[in-house]
Structure 1
């Protein structure tokens, strides 16, 4: 019979550089004693220092959510609209170009672009040409701007629409100028939860397949978790395990790209559809729950994914700053505009200046540096 490790033993093993198990993660995630939680935080902070150092990084970027028209009906989403529904929008090429020009004028090194699954977003009856024109609209004017675009859900949407393989889609996007993929649409990598949260979305295996294929093609990705809704600590731990395996596979096979960062996206329910909002029973994230998951994620993933980032949009800047003492080493980006979470009722705002991010970091007596999307330090200071 396998001996169950104590919390002290789990944390000691983690500090010694060992990988903890999903059972260990569940044990940590279910702690309620204040002193025990403080020990978990301390371990995560120690590992953050060992794996990523004292410097806190940030990126100057702009979000462009090019449309909120979407064929799907995820139970947590307050962003999507039907085509003729009030509040529906679809940015034209000139508007996108103007947003990019403004971002570059403000020092952006990255454009992050995601949108709804708009069945009318086609050129000559095909989806892929529309997405290629989106890329061309940005890259023709600013070829050196990093384009972080199109989630696994969008990749699957294009492939399904045009009867192409995931590889064919990603190769075309990469050749056109996509530099990395957001690891969003992961939500919780447990299909029992997905059947309730996002029944029309890709399943867990498809998400993992697309991310792994991107790594094999040399396209870096991020990774995320949507937390604090109907998922259990066991499902959170299993999600972390699948991300760790994904990164281990990329490392073991020497794929040319890997996961660059991990981000916790706490559920915001204020404007979410009523059935899920009532089931969850609150409108805003519980900071304490997010911080505990932040610490456990650092302990679980840090040996393989060293960069961890909170969401100031969802937690507010003060909450995100606190997360920097629970295992995070990066405070995210300026965003300049953010619609998906804000339309859900988030209170963190839609934009931060570099100075605001810097001041938050300085409040912890930690040094700051500007980075690019792939965590290379930029010599701008």
Structure 2
């Protein structure tokens, strides 16, 4: 592979071409520091063209309502059995108190996800429990955007209650769910999933649920858990599936689509020992994460213009580096974060707005802007009313 070939690939992408899977693997396999630097520079140029120079952030709060989970993913340090030490299940008052705290701290979004708790039912139905979760928050704070319940949780509810995915998504949307986290994707390759998360949804089902959400008018994010047992070829396969999913939503004019891509580098410090031993390290390799961040921008940017690093996993310094290599958003304040922190992440659990702004301000010619969940700028202290939001998940028109 010649340097000239890499230069040609990068030049083509700057001229608007989509990166092929083969080209993507080529880029990820580069080891020469100068070539890797050129890849990151190209990603930064594409970020400028596709999303502009403004670095956005969102004021949000995580609520992980339970860590009781029936599944046993090999990377997860968060889940607990029902009566195990450290298990918890928030009651309605605790959930409402967290939502109230978020509002008092000017949050515009609640992100809510939890373990798959088979005892979480109301009148014998899991769906009723999830609807109560939504009503607890939306009943008092209808202005908050509720970004809730991964595709894995949708599958869990549907299986528990013998319902279709479309029925579950529609019921949650009607109750007040405004968008869906694109988590539980891990790596969209079933060979990897059989080792990493054998009890979780398979690739086809994850894609089906997310596409169904788009068709029904529920925007989603998209993610990748990287840097564990997967290969560069499998990383590109994952990105290619996300790109195809987004192209389907846009070309079929679904009312919603993917709003952002978030790279989630693997943190294994507290992961179960078999996987931790197999991976051979506890914290992400920043250089690997930055190269994959850049290639993800090059691969997806024509279709998914908003890209975000994880300051929880990379630390704020690493996240700022990612803003120079393809990302246009620094993420949210979170206020609390349990899933990654319990895995041993060193980035912290809460980021004050002033800290995010100061970090962004360290970058040259990169202004900052508060946004809502769907990447619309917030120009005042007033929290936007999510009930009046239109299904416009992209702030930058693709292609």
TM over 0.5: yes
1:378 matched to which residue of 2?
A: 378
Partner deviation per Cα, 1:151-191 (whole Å, 9 max, x = no partner): 00000000000000000000000000000000000000000
Question: Where in structure 2 are the equivalents of 1:342-353 lying within 5 Å?
Answer: 342-353=341-352
Does the residue aligned with 1:263 lie in a helix, a strand or coil? strand
User: How far has the Cα of 1:5 moved from its partner?
Assistant: 8.7
**d(CA) in 1 for partners of 2:309, 2:257:** 20
1:116 matched to which residue of 2?
A: 115
1:202 matched to which residue of 2?
A: 201
| Segments of 4+ moved more than 6 angstroms | none
**d(CA) in 2 for partners of 1:86, 1:306:** 43
Can you give the 5+ residue segments of structure 2 that lack an aligned partner in the other structure? 382-399
User: How far has the Cα of 1:346 moved from its partner?
Assistant: 0.2
Does the residue aligned with 2:111 lie in a helix, a strand or coil? strand
User: How far has the Cα of 1:222 moved from its partner?
Assistant: 0.1
Partner deviation per Cα, 1:340-375 (whole Å, 9 max, x = no partner): 000000000000011111011000121000000000
Does the residue aligned with 2:235 lie in a helix, a strand or coil? helix
**d(CA) in 2 for partners of 1:175, 1:90:** 25
1:67 matched to which residue of 2?
A: 66
Distance change >3 Å, CA 118–CA 285, structure 1 → 2: same
1:229 matched to which residue of 2?
A: 228
TM-score computed with the length of structure 2 as normaliser: 0.94
- The reply on whether 1:192 has 2:181 as its aligned counterpart is no
**d(CA) in 2 for partners of 1:62, 1:380:** 19
1:149 matched to which residue of 2?
A: 148
**d(CA) in 2 for partners of 1:272, 1:125:** 33
**d(CA) in 2 for partners of 1:296, 1:318:** 20
User: How far has the Cα of 1:380 moved from its partner?
Assistant: 2.6
User: How far has the Cα of 1:144 moved from its partner?
Assistant: 1.4
User: How far has the Cα of 1:217 moved from its partner?
Assistant: 0.2
2:324 matched to which residue of 1?
A: 325
- The reply on whether 1:304 has 2:267 as its aligned counterpart is no
Does the residue aligned with 1:331 lie in a helix, a strand or coil? strand
1:274 matched to which residue of 2?
A: 273
Does the residue aligned with 2:316 lie in a helix, a strand or coil? helix
2:175 matched to which residue of 1?
A: 176
**d(CA) in 2 for partners of 1:380, 1:204:** 41
Question: Where in structure 2 are the equivalents of 1:335-346 lying within 5 Å?
Answer: 335-346=334-345
2:356 matched to which residue of 1?
A: 357
Give the aligned CA root-mean-square deviation in angstroms: 1.1
2:367 matched to which residue of 1?
A: 367
TM-score computed with the length of structure 1 as normaliser: 0.98
User: How far has the Cα of 1:8 moved from its partner?
Assistant: 1.0
2:212 matched to which residue of 1?
A: 213
Partner deviation per Cα, 1:212-271 (whole Å, 9 max, x = no partner): 000000000000000000000000000000000000000110000000000000000000
1:79 matched to which residue of 2?
A: 78
| Contact 1:370/1:380, CA 8 A, preserved across alignment | no
**d(CA) in 2 for partners of 1:379, 1:113:** 25
- The reply on whether 1:100 has 2:102 as its aligned counterpart is no
Does the residue aligned with 1:6 lie in a helix, a strand or coil? helix
**d(CA) in 1 for partners of 2:121, 2:5:** 56
Can you give the 5+ residue segments of structure 1 that lack an aligned partner in the other structure? none
Does the residue aligned with 1:185 lie in a helix, a strand or coil? coil
**d(CA) in 1 for partners of 2:37, 2:268:** 28
**d(CA) in 2 for partners of 1:355, 1:52:** 23
Between the two proteins, the alignment pairs up a number of residues equal to: 379
Does the residue aligned with 2:339 lie in a helix, a strand or coil? coil
2:396 matched to which residue of 1?
A: none
**d(CA) in 2 for partners of 1:30, 1:172:** 45
| Contact 1:5/1:24, CA 8 A, preserved across alignment | no
User: How far has the Cα of 1:101 moved from its partner?
Assistant: 0.3
**d(CA) in 1 for partners of 2:362, 2:62:** 26
**d(CA) in 2 for partners of 1:258, 1:5:** 36
**d(CA) in 2 for partners of 1:222, 1:123:** 29
